[in-house]
Amino acid sequence: MSEVVWAPTEEMVARANVTRLMKKAGVDGYEALHAWSVANIGRFWDTALEDLGVAWYEPYARVYDDSAGFPWTKWFVGGKTNIILNCLDRHVEGGRSDQEALVGEGDDGTVVSLTYAELKDQVNRAAGLLREIGVEPGNRVGIYMPMVPEVVVALFACFQVGAVAIPVFSAFGSDALAVRLNDAKAVALFTADGGDRRGKVAPVKPNADAAVAQVPTLRHQIVIRRTEEEVPWQEGRDLWWHEHIASREPDSRTEVLDAEAPAMILYTSGTTGKPKGTVHTHAGCLATMNKELGYAFDVKPEDRFFWLTDIGWMMGPWEMIGVTSLGATLLVFEGAPNWPQPDRLFDIVERHRVTHLGVAPTAIRLLRRAGDELAAGRDLSSLRIIGSTGEPWDPESWLWCFEHVGGRRCPIVNISGGTELVGCHLSPLPITRLKPCTLRGPGLGMDVDVFDDEGNSIRGGIGHLVLKQPAPSLTKSFLGDDDRYLATYFERFGADVWYHGDWAYVDEDGFWFLHGRSDDTINVAGKRVGPAEVEAAVVEHAAASEAAAVGVPDELKGEDVVVFVVLKPDVPESEELRAALSDSVVSHLGKTLRPKAIRFVDMLPKTRSAKIVRGVIKRRWLEKPVGDLASVENPEAVDAIAQSR
């Protein structure tokens, strides 16, 4: 897929936020701007934050201090700020009080809208309760709630009082929640009586209660009434939101915090090993999220931004902070993208006049199964940018999204980073040309490269994605585990190079592509391939909707390939089809990589954010313990893997 399929118009380039930055930098074009941004990262961040209007109580004296080494870099030394100063206070005080800040749509279609003044008022009330129950700056507070407007209020209330938020997927079980709350020594938890998902009530508080019983530091639960279900109640510990927040006097004080003050602890997946607590600061979040939403996504105050996500995935806090800091309107959604009708996602875009839609490739593959007319039945003309992250694309699904969702006029801003960065290593800009599936190149200020196994920079071959200079939002170690932090990121290539664990490739035109996680790599008779390449070859066949490829032990080859395939509706299974899908892999990747087996399944196990959990699939197929399934939304799909043997 080497053809450029999208290029910005002159008008797009002229009005892009990043064009304003280019003029300040005195450069012209994407390549020159990126080179400028990494030649002196202190100068870049200083210029970008001033350009984007990031606010400070006290200005910083130095942009960064790496005297203790890359892993321990400190940012915006001497500065004082708060996420709430930027996301709410300056807008309310600066004439944007009546602008719509937050729109929430429930699973049942109920819509709630809050202006910046109304959102600030609710945050003030929630902050007042946190202070009343003894929450102090630096205390940790969990958030285990559905994706409803109150989840934004809870997150922002933590920031306002200087507490450290711990967002957790509301679909997690009690043990997974307890591990995270215990690790962080949380003192309070925001939760709900339940949630709505596909027209059914999903229990939340019973799981929260079971987790809290295992957390001796936790003193209070603050509970929103979402479903009106009867739930267990412990007087003194449990507090109803509507009784203790909605009706109380607001407390408008925003804590003045050091730039390096922790804002959030985000936990990486717990499907293998103990979850790692990544620590993110107020200034680090503001710097990276403003840069990415402001430049890569070109967000302006008149925009309406919607990413299909959850508070427990970094994209939830990322959009909440970034969109409101830039003064735009954020949409949060509790339900599923294809319920109660297959085009629910596009119905939301049409009704709310969404300008920015963010989806994972798996979600597009799911929607694509319903046919090309799915998006055609809705008015999607409000869209100007489509966002994507979470996993590699296959060309067919990328092109379907580009044509049928974006009408060939909207760029797909395909980004990739991680929880550890709470941002992006790679990212297009709205002024860059695009090839299908590309991430175009490194994000601004990100000194990213591709290394071979010996640590040499390579082009034209698949290698390791690395970062050669620090960035403001990189995790401040792992919570309570410096040794694991150093071993994870700085053991492979040394203390001056961050090893990220992704396979990357740069083509002859300088366009970057990802090929999955290095720990997912399949090595067949010495030929190394990412599962995404195998899956793309399978999905190219007209009968295949989704695929997941894993490597399994083989005495002769070392590893062999097994592929699990979801067929399009009404396509019957057959040995002939199995052979045709196998042949498709051979035609794209060669005979060596012909799959050992192709198995048909009704669904693939995925997280709530639509990531396919290949590690779980592999362990279930090999009849090994699958580990913690808390992050898997449809655990029944795991059993289906075993039944397909």
The span from the CA of 36 to the CA of 44, in Å, is: 8
Residue 609 confidence class, pLDDT cut points 50, 70, 90: low
Give tens-digit pLDDT for 392-413.
888 999 999 999 999 999 999 9
On the question of a cis peptide bond just before residue 8, with omega within 30 degrees of 0, the verdict is: no
Q: In what order do the strands lie in the sheet with 385-388?
A: 111-115, 100-105, 329-333, 304-307, 356-359, 385-388, 412-414
pLDDT-above-90 percentage for the chain: 81
Q: Is the pLDDT of residue 98 over 70?
A: yes
What pLDDT was estimated at residue 149? Answer: 98
What pLDDT was estimated at residue 366? Answer: 85
What pLDDT was estimated at residue 269? Answer: 63
Query: Comparing C-alpha atoms, which of 506, 620, 167 is closest to residue 612?
Result: 620
What domains, with CATH codes, occur in the chain?
114-263 (3.40.50.980), 521-643 (3.30.300.30)
Give tens-digit pLDDT for 272-328.
457 899 999 999 999 999 999 999 999 999 999 999 999 999 999 999 999 999 999
Mean pLDDT throughout 533-542? 90
Residue 606 confidence class, pLDDT cut points 50, 70, 90: confident
Query: Comparing C-alpha atoms, which of 326, 285, 323 is closest to residue 305?
Result: 323
**Cα four-point dihedral sign 607, 612, 614, 618:** positive
Q: What angle, rounded to 10 degrees, do the helices at 614-621 and 636-643 form?
A: 40
The span from the CA of 432 to the CA of 437, in Å, is: 14
Give tens-digit pLDDT for 26-67.
999 999 999 999 999 999 999 999 999 999 999 999 999 999
Q: Is the pLDDT of residue 250 over 80?
A: yes
pTM of the model: 0.88
Mean pLDDT throughout 252-261? 98
What pLDDT was estimated at residue 271? Answer: 42
Q: Worst-scoring range by mean pLDDT, 23-27, 173-177, 438-442, 572-576?
A: 173-177
pLDDT-above-70 percentage for the chain: 98
What pLDDT was estimated at residue 270? Answer: 45
Give tens-digit pLDDT for 327-361.
999 999 999 999 999 999 999 999 999 999 999 88
Is residue 589 classed as helix, strand or coil in its secondary structure? helix
The span from the CA of 511 to the CA of 433, in Å, is: 9
What pLDDT was estimated at residue 272? Answer: 46
Is residue 370 classed as helix, strand or coil in its secondary structure? coil
| Average pLDDT across the chain, whole number | 94
Is 189 buried (19+), middle (13-18) or exposed (0-12) by CB count in 10 A?
A: buried
One-letter amino acid of 417: G
